[in-house]
Amino acid sequence: MAARDLQERIKKLIVDRRLPSGAPLPTEPELMRFLGASRNSVREALKALQAMGIVEIRHGFGTYVGPMSLAPMIEGLAFRTVAGHYRGEDSLLQLLELREAVETGLVSRLAGRLPERDLSELTALVDRMDRQAEQGAGLAETDRAFHATLYRGLDNALLSEVLEAFWDAFHRVQRDLVVVPHDPWVTCRQHREILDAVRSGDSIRAEEAIRDHFGHVRARLAPVDTTDPQDPTRATMSAYDR
């Protein structure tokens, strides 16, 4: 029995029965009977679907319909970027430019259209960035929240998820791969400028602010590190070394 068919038939089973995220799937023996395949085949099909985020397997408990998040996309993008990076490609830069290209376009549509509620939330986030910079703490999570809150105003959950996925993939790779000596105060100032520009409703200025922000990150990215992860004298610590 073709393993490819098994995956398709399990997917069909989910849509046919209108199973929502979190709904329990038939147990492995039941799937074996239903699909007419052995345990190995069923398990391999489930593993593949799990990798795609379509099903969720909880040890000793059961299999369930997955959260349908874009987590697999993050994994795939991140690995693709890491592999390309070590092969000497500028894959990390490309990922950053992808974010820049998309976000510059989106922020101009947002300018002047954000409700006061979101604006004040963004203000609070930038304020928190200031405090974190003062304490020398990392402000990655706050940066993530800022971008997420900003594009929430576009009122498209899928779009928000995609942007967050791009953010996650980029920062995961950046954290594992390169040393970025960045000045937190510059980051704070740039986010405040983005916020001010959006609040003022000036599309051009908002685009410019986003471009400045990404340009700053890009500059810190220039001296890419492509040392061999097998080389014990390497300067960075990759997640793939564990």
Among 58, 87, 117, 242, binds DNA (CB under 7 A): 58
**24: which strand partners?**
64
Among 26, 28, 32, 53, binds a copy of itself (CB under 8 A): 53
Token pair recorded at residue 217: 């990150």
**Residue 70 to residues 25, 75, 113, 193, 194: CA-CA distances in angstroms?**
21, 9, 27, 30, 27
Does the protein bind a copy of itself through residue 52 (CB under 8 A)?
Answer: yes
- Cβ neighbours around 232 below 10 Å, total: 6
- 139 burial (CB, 10 Å; 0-12 / 13-18 / 19+) is buried
Site string for a copy of itself, 62-101 (x = CB under 8 A): ------x-x-xx-xx--xx-xxx-xx---x--xx-xx--x
At residue 36, φ and ψ (nearest 5 deg) are 65, 40
Does the protein bind a copy of itself through residue 225 (CB under 8 A)?
Answer: no
Site string for a copy of itself, 18-37 (x = CB under 8 A): x-x-----------------
**Residue 199 to residues 66, 120, 121, 233: CA-CA distances in angstroms?**
38, 10, 12, 48
Does the protein bind DNA through residue 57 (CB under 7 A)?
Answer: yes
Token pair recorded at residue 101: 């290209």
The length of the chain, given as a count of residues: 242
Does the protein bind a copy of itself through residue 241 (CB under 8 A)?
Answer: yes
Q: Report what 15 binds from DNA, a copy of itself, none; CB cut-off 5-8 Å by kind.
A: a copy of itself
Measure the CA–CA gap between 199 and 194, rounded to whole angstroms: 9
CB-nearer residue toward DNA: 29 or 223: 29
Binding site for a copy of itself (CB under 8 A): 3, 8, 11-12, 14-16, 18, 20, 40, 43-45, 47-54, 68, 70, 72-73, 75-76, 79-80, 82-84, 86-87, 91, 94-95, 97-98, 101-102, 104-106, 108-109, 154, 156-159, 162, 229-230, 238, 240-242
Binding site for DNA (CB under 7 A): 1-3, 25, 27-29, 36-41, 43-44, 46, 57-63
